Structure 1
Amino acid sequence: MHARRLTAGVYTCLLLLAVSWIPGAYANTLLSVSPNQASYSLAPYSEFWHAADSPASLDELLALSPAFERSHNVQDLNFGYTRRDVWLRTQVRNESPDAQRWIVQFEFPFLDHVTLYTLRQHFSGVQRSGSAVPVEQRALANRQAVFPLELAAFETVTLYTHVAASGSKMLSYNLMTPEAFNAQDDRYNFWLATYFGMILALGLYNLLLFFGLKERVFLHYSLFVGGFGLAILAFNGIGTLMFWSFLGDNTARLVALGFTFASTMATLFAQSFLNTETYCPRWHQVLSTFRSYCWLAVLATLLLPISSALQLMDVTVFIAALLLLVCGSYCCLRRVPSARLFVFAWSLFLLGAGVFALRNLGILPANFITLHGIQIGSALQMLLLSFALAARFNKLKRQKERAQSVMLATLRKQEAVLEQKVAARTRALEHLANCDVLTGLLNRHGLMRCAENALLRNQQQGDQLALLMLDLDRFKPINDHYGHEAGDFVLQKIAKRIAHLARTGDHCARFGGDEFIIIMESIESADTLATIQARIEQAIQSPIILPCGERVSVSVSVGISTCQGADNATLESLLREADNNMYAVKTRQAETCYRYGSA
């Protein structure tokens, strides 16, 4: 009897303990909210359940009645990449005597489908949101999954949340007052707008530099920024909110495609920026091989299931950042220009990308740094690389200016040489046009030009001008007997004697055959002309030794015509008068020779 009573007492105590434990455990999952506090983290007050065959609706879940696991902190709700859907459960009680309005906010914006069920005493409500849900079907139009929650005075509700996502499931969520949520949302949107504005400005600026300078490094950087910016735009929910909510589940694929393409362009940018083909040929080959893998990864993100494409994206981004960092470090050892700044920039990006990948894989906890690490790292990296590109732009500008200066100096030098050649050629052509080829004296054309100028000066100054016509005698026999070469030799000798006897400023010309012309300006008297004529006749009559050794001599008949400034004489009139006088001299010489011959 005593044993039975003892056993009954033990069972009674255990039952009382169980009853006392159940309310305590239940109380730990109940969040009592007050308007005096603006924000609550729901992670410590939540339970979660996920299985391969998790139900798709609340009725199915309640019918299944699964055993939820308790969440103690935010890290417990970081499930990483898992294909299983997740259910969350928590209870919220309004301790205020007034009705209150709250906002349920999921921090991680990259969640495809989030469905919130609100169980009340008499009914339940359903709200949907998520990055794959069209904006018009969301509970609130926001880049994150957010839901309004109305609580009556002293009301207690149970929240069931169903999350289906192909990417990493970071399910930290909060309960916030509308004022606190709007303030936080405005602050985040400001920084995101600043971030995307910077990306857009950097991309367009370097694209314009490419069109201006035709340097591919600026194009590669612009494509890298463009692919990265597109992925971040989709990842943060802004793209789906503003541009492509119609993509639905393919929004996640766009993230994978953008980051993988950015890794491809980053590899190409590193090769052109560091000039690995010249400084590090082996690393250039390694990066080229990896870039081929990246192109295959880009194709794979279009064909693989979205979850696999996202995991491939994480691996590709992390390997690309690590590989480029090692390559940049090697280039630093080789003292490649701008390699140090490149390494520092990619170290920051690698840190952000590593945090991003490890958080998605569920290795790192979810917090502000891990949630926005890739944006912080990429912003610093892009700014540093932009500084490096600006330095390269200034270097290219200086090189271009130096090249232009050298080219201009070369052109000027060539222009001066060309001008000299043109002047020399012009002088040569003028000499050919105005001078006799055989004797070097003026020809008929040159004589006419010089005569026009001489007559014009004579008219202006009123001085006496004389034209002397010289016709060689006994020249034809030399030409006939010794040949034309000997005749040309005699003409050259006579031309040199005439040029030697002429005064400075006199004009000597070969008029044709064996006739020569001398135009003399500023003649003082007739005695001067007689003296000059005598000297010319004496010089020409001097013997000439031919190349063959024979000695020959010629005489000359000189006809002179003169004019004063007021006579208005022309070259034709002077030539006609001098020709008449020359023939008169020849006639007299012929008569004299005949008379002496008869005697």
Structure 2
Amino acid sequence: MTRCPEFLAPQCSQPVPARACLLSALFWLLGVVAGLAAPTEDTLRIRPNVNELYVSTASYSVLEDPSGRLTLRDILQPRYNAGFLPGNLTSGGKPSGNIEHTRSAYWLRIRVRNEAPDQNHWFLEMFDSHINDLTFYRADAQGTYHGVRTGADLPFASRPFAYKNFLFSLQVRPGQTHTYYLRLKSDSKTSFLGRLRNESMLAAHFQSEYGLLGGFYGVLLIMVVYNLFIFLFIGERTYLRYVLYVLSCSLLFLSEDGLGFEYLWPRLPWLNQVVNAGAPILLLVTFSYYARHFLDAPQRLPHFDPWVRAVVLLSAGLLLLDTLFVKSGFSFWLYLLPYGMLYYAALLVYRQGFRAARFFLIAQALVAVSLLFLITRKLGVDFINTPFTVYSMNVAFVVEVAVLSYALGEKIKAIKDATIRTQERLVKQLHKKHQAQDRLVEQLRQNQELKDQLNSELEEQVARRTEKLRLQSETIAAQNRELQQANGLLALQSAAISKLNGELQHDLQQVQTARVLSKEVDFGEFSQIYPDKDACLRYLADLKWAAGYRCRKCGHEKYCDAREPHARRCTKCRYVESATAYTMLQKCKFSIIKAFYAVFLIYTHKGSYSSQELSRVLELRQGTCWSFSQKVTEAMRRRRQAAGYDEHEGWTHILLDATGTSEEDQPILQTEHS
């Protein structure tokens, strides 16, 4: 009894007769003869002064194992060994070698001939570090094959070299041709891309590659820390969304280039699989969340933004379903629609005049080009497979995070400038208001001077008349009998003058009262004071926020102009409050000018102004006037019962009464959800 050769030992655990070994050797020789007769792949030739070779699709042969049960012992048999086809003819006649069926195992056969006289060690590097199960078979000096098994499903320590990609030592001797086998099993579609490098070239490649990747992640870390501190200082949530997006980018690249598995979770292959599958979905969600709010899509595109949000959520759900159950391998096509809609939204916003969107368009264009290179590499297209295209996505994302950070700063600066301009307009309005108040005070002063002058003139006239009457009385006293009739006439004149003086005093009192209560102002004169809706809203807004603005939702004290005239938007929570909200005129169903005049009439008549007269003056239905007058009368009653009520206060205090407003009449809260 003899034992199997060493390269068959993993598949054979029992002793076999010598005849069986001879038959196996015979079948192996037949396989070699059949392999010579079949079309063979090109041999990779290591020539002098060559430091690296690219493993093209014509440089290896591929055999698909649908069952996934074939071993190296089976592969070396003639019927299987003759089934290897060149890589450029596999995958159903496609012009490249790909893993098309995720349930199958694929065998690669690579022949390497060393025609260089030096003794450099050569290594085979497989670019895709996400292959789940990979076994590399290499023959020793006696022709016995030994396997090295590794893969993304095994701990990182299973790899023969501590490198982010799969790296295997070839040990090819000068002047000899060696045949190597690789067994690959992957849950996702990928291509067989690799490269041969000698030890000197590999060392230089390690130094440059890890240096560039360190700089790349350093830039991402700087962006995260910088924008996180800005968020903590100013509280602007857009910076927090940007930080989440950059962290998602970092997680995606850590999973894509294999550095996360190498340094962060080397003993957790299941976590590596979760990160590989979930990082692109997380990036889609965080990017859409950041991009929509950076572009102010909910406000600028109110009809298009809900569709964008729905497509993003649907795509994320389909991607998760494909990752967990379907495993089609082409799920990256589901990213095209949401990213395309976000790019189109940025274009629409830019056309509306949002200048910061141009940076977004430029950055995403660079990322789109790098994604095109990634998709072609996934499909096995190698005619543009250069170091620049391989790391183009890293460069594109570095440029993108830097450009978007600058764009975010420009947006915040634009908001700050708009706030400053709004404050300047408010200062000008307050200045004009103060000027109007000064003019009103001056007019009242002039009126007082005219009244005092009139009273002085009347007093002088009365004094002169009294003096004249006194002189006449002395003359009449001397001629009492003769001028008795004249004295009676003078008495009548004196009574008439006294009556006229009383009437003048009464008229002056009425003038003063009318000036205070403005009872003599009709609707025409009232319309001159409040000529249009804008004037009424401006007066109501100034009266409402005379003590300063304070958000009813979050208590913030800074605001900016909203779309509705004289409405104010909170700069923190985006809550919008109109000038009529929480006032007597909220949900008023007729002209605000007539509403002002109605409140004025009812107040000045102390609530006794009839709805018929109010309907005639305002030209409104009596039922509407009656309802409004009841509302004003009730507000007056509550005002008189208030603790700080002043009987000399003006009618405008009634405008701010909102105690009777029902919950149905409350204004709709307009907020921006984070």
Match of 1:146 in 2: 167
Contact 2:134-2:150 within 8 A present in 1 as well: yes
Contact 1:328-1:343 within 8 A present in 2 as well: yes
Identity %: 21
Alignment of 1:285-324 (within 5 A): 285-297=306-318, 300=321, 303-304=324-325, 307-308=327-328, 311-312=330-331, 314-324=332-342
Match of 1:116 among 128, 132, 136: 136
Match of 2:113 in 1: 93
Read off the aligned partner of 1:331 and give its amino acid letter.
Answer: V
Match of 2:374 among 350, 356, 360: 356
Alignment of 1:398-413 (within 5 A): none
- CA deviations 1:6-52 (Å, max 9, x no partner) are xxxxxxxxxxxxx99948955x6333324531112233331111232
Distance in 1 (alpha carbons) for counterparts of 2:404 and 2:240:
13
Match of 2:49 among 36, 39, 45: 36
Match of 2:86 in 1: 70
Match of 2:363 among 342, 345, 361: 345
Match of 1:210 among 231, 253, 258: 231
Change (3 A) 1:20 1:68: closer
Q: How far did 1:301 drift? A: 6.6
Contact 2:191-2:379 within 8 A present in 1 as well: no
* Partner secondary structure for residue 350 of structure 1: helix
Match of 2:385 in 1: 367
Match of 2:244 among 205, 214, 223: 223
* TM-score, scaled to structure 1: 0.58
Q: How far did 1:117 drift? A: 0.2
* TM-score, scaled to structure 2: 0.52
The answer to which structure, 1 or 2, has the higher relative contact order (CA under 8 A, 6+ apart) is 1
Change (3 A) 1:42 1:253: same
Match of 1:133 in 2: 154
Q: How far did 1:377 drift? A: 2.9
Gaps of at least 5 residues in structure 1 are 1-18, 412-599
Q: How far did 1:146 drift? A: 0.6
* Partner secondary structure for residue 66 of structure 2: coil
Contact 1:352-1:378 within 8 A present in 2 as well: no
Change (3 A) 1:72 1:374: same
Structure 2 residue 396 is matched with structure 1 residue 381:
no
Alignment of 1:104-503 (within 5 A): 104-120=124-140, 121-297=142-318, 300=321, 303-304=324-325, 307-308=327-328, 311-312=330-331, 314-362=332-380, 367-368=385-386, 370-396=389-415
Distance in 1 (alpha carbons) for counterparts of 2:416 and 2:237:
15
Read off the aligned partner of 2:366 and give its amino acid letter.
Answer: L
- CA deviations 1:333-354 (Å, max 9, x no partner) are 2223422222222222223234
Distance in 1 (alpha carbons) for counterparts of 2:233 and 2:370:
33
Change (3 A) 1:118 1:352: same
Structure 2 residue 123 is matched with structure 1 residue 103:
yes
Change (3 A) 1:410 1:219: farther
* Partner secondary structure for residue 303 of structure 2: helix
Distance in 1 (alpha carbons) for counterparts of 2:373 and 2:153:
24
Match of 2:62 in 1: 48
Kindly tell me the number of residue pairs found equivalent between the two proteins.
Answer: 392
* Partner secondary structure for residue 392 of structure 1: helix
Match of 1:424 in 2: none
Contact 2:367-2:397 within 8 A present in 1 as well: yes
Alignment of 1:487-566 (within 5 A): none
Contact 1:253-1:301 within 8 A present in 2 as well: no
Distance in 1 (alpha carbons) for counterparts of 2:101 and 2:245:
26
Contact 1:131-1:237 within 8 A present in 2 as well: no
Distance in 2 (alpha carbons) for counterparts of 1:187 and 1:80:
33
- CA deviations 1:43-98 (Å, max 9, x no partner) are 33311112322435312322462501113599623446744222110222333566
Distance in 2 (alpha carbons) for counterparts of 1:363 and 1:40:
17
Q: How far did 1:166 drift? A: 1.8
Q: How far did 1:266 drift? A: 1.4
Of the structure 1 ranges 107-116 and 177-186, higher mean CA displacement relative to structure 2 is found in 107-116
Contact 1:99-1:150 within 8 A present in 2 as well: no
Of the structure 1 ranges 108-117 and 277-286, higher mean CA displacement relative to structure 2 is found in 108-117
Distance in 2 (alpha carbons) for counterparts of 1:176 and 1:292:
44
Contact 1:355-1:364 within 8 A present in 2 as well: no
- CA deviations 1:184-213 (Å, max 9, x no partner) are 222222222222222222223222222222
Distance in 2 (alpha carbons) for counterparts of 1:200 and 1:236:
17
Q: Which has the larger radius of gyration?
A: 1
Q: How far did 1:258 drift? A: 1.1
Q: How far did 1:143 drift? A: 0.4
Change (3 A) 1:249 1:119: farther
Change (3 A) 1:389 1:301: farther
Distance in 2 (alpha carbons) for counterparts of 1:350 and 1:148:
36
Gaps of at least 5 residues in structure 2 are 1-32, 431-674
Match of 2:437 in 1: none
Contact 2:135-2:150 within 8 A present in 1 as well: yes
Match of 1:59 among 47, 56, 73: 73
Read off the aligned partner of 1:356 and give its amino acid letter.
Answer: L
Read off the aligned partner of 1:85 and give its amino acid letter.
Answer: A
Q: How far did 1:388 drift? A: 0.3
Change (3 A) 1:72 1:39: farther
CA RMSD after TM alignment: 3.6
- CA deviations 1:430-473 (Å, max 9, x no partner) are xxxxxxxxxxxxxxxxxxxxxxxxxxxxxxxxxxxxxxxxxxxx
Contact 1:196-1:229 within 8 A present in 2 as well: yes
Distance in 1 (alpha carbons) for counterparts of 2:376 and 2:43:
32
Distance in 2 (alpha carbons) for counterparts of 1:20 and 1:58:
17
* Partner secondary structure for residue 391 of structure 2: helix
Read off the aligned partner of 1:270 and give its amino acid letter.
Answer: A
Distance in 2 (alpha carbons) for counterparts of 1:124 and 1:362:
29
Distance in 1 (alpha carbons) for counterparts of 2:422 and 2:201:
60
Read off the aligned partner of 2:45 and give its amino acid letter.
Answer: S
Contact 1:33-1:95 within 8 A present in 2 as well: yes
Distance in 2 (alpha carbons) for counterparts of 1:160 and 1:125:
10
Distance in 2 (alpha carbons) for counterparts of 1:246 and 1:332:
47
Change (3 A) 1:396 1:36: same
Read off the aligned partner of 1:322 and give its amino acid letter.
Answer: G
